[in-house]
Amino acid sequence: MGPVTVELNHTLAELLARLCVEFETDDPTGVMSRALGLLEMVQHTKRHGGRLCFVNARGDLADVVF
């Protein structure tokens, strides 16, 4: 495996930069890995008839959908 070039539009580049700041990292690859891992988890759960949800501090559920 080697490096891969990924073209991002302005909106995606800004989102990636904001997430890097939030995670206090200068490694955009790690941020994209986490995002793709979450997407894969949602798809895997959906394929097996389940649902993936986030629960906030008040106990409210929100389904993860794509």
pLDDT in tens, 2-40: 888 999 999 999 999 999 999 999 999 999 999 999 999
For residues 45 and 51, is the Cβ–Cβ distance under 8 A? Answer: yes
Distance CA 46, CA 6 (A): 27
**Residue 66 pLDDT more than 80?**
no
Distance CA 41, CA 39 (A): 5
Query: Strand, helix or coil at 63?
Result: strand
Residues in the chain: 66
Distance CA 16, CA 21 (A): 9
